[in-house]
């Protein structure tokens, strides 16, 4: 397995509109209108701001359930995940598990590496189509 690039950094925020306005005003970033929005199944709404060949993903919990809400409750705002693009997420999971990493099963081209296996970082492995 070889990591291709940092796909995006996920940041939990209390107020999505305030956070994206702060990054637009102070860093010259713009929200990508083609991506993001409410994701009821995850209890979040999000927005992506491209930066170079990666993105910042701002994530606001909409409920008090799920991993984003739990993170916000325990830690407040801050970096939630680091997403790394790989060519084949299933092969990456198999490889990392063979090395003793705790990795969730792939689902829709995404898998999560336990922070206990990655020095405290919530790693997301993501397989992009057409890149």
Sorted by where each begins, the domain ranges of the chain are 5-126
Give the integer Cα–Cα distance in Å for 130 and 65: 33
Q: What is the token pair recorded at 55?
A: 């993105």
pTM: 0.92
What confidence score (pLDDT) does residue 79 get?
A: 97
| CATH number listed for the domain at residues 5-126 | 3.10.180.10
pLDDT in tens, 54-112: 999 999 999 999 999 999 999 999 999 999 999 999 999 999 999 999 999 999 999 99
In the 8-state DSSP scheme, what is residue 116?
T
Percent of the chain with pLDDT over 90: 97
The model's confidence at residue 130, banded by pLDDT at 50, 70 and 90, is low
Q: pLDDT tens digits for 3-62?
A: 999 999 999 999 999 999 999 999 999 999 999 999 999 999 999 999 999 999 999 999
Q: What is the DSSP letter of 129?
A: T
**Cα 19 to Cα 41: distance, rounded to the nearest angstrom:** 22
Measure the CA–CA gap between 56 and 32, rounded to whole angstroms. Answer: 10
């Amino acid at each position: 397995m070889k990591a291709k690039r940092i796909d995006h950094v996920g940041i939990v925020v209390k107020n999505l509109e305030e956070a994206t306005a702060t990054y637009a005003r102070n860093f010259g970033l713009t929200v990508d209108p083609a991506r993001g929005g409410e994701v009821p199944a995850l209890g979040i709404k999000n927005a992506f701001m491209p930066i170079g060949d990666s993105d910042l993903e701002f994530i606001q919990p909409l409920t008090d359930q799920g991993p984003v809400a739990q993170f916000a409750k325990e830690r407040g705002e801050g970096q939630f995940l680091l997403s790394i693009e790989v060519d084949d997420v299933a092969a990456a999971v198999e490889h990392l598990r063979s090395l003793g990493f705790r990795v969730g099963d792939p689902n829709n081209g995404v898998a999560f590496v336990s922070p206990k296996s990655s020095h405290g970082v919530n790693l997301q492995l993501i397989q992009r189509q057409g890149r």
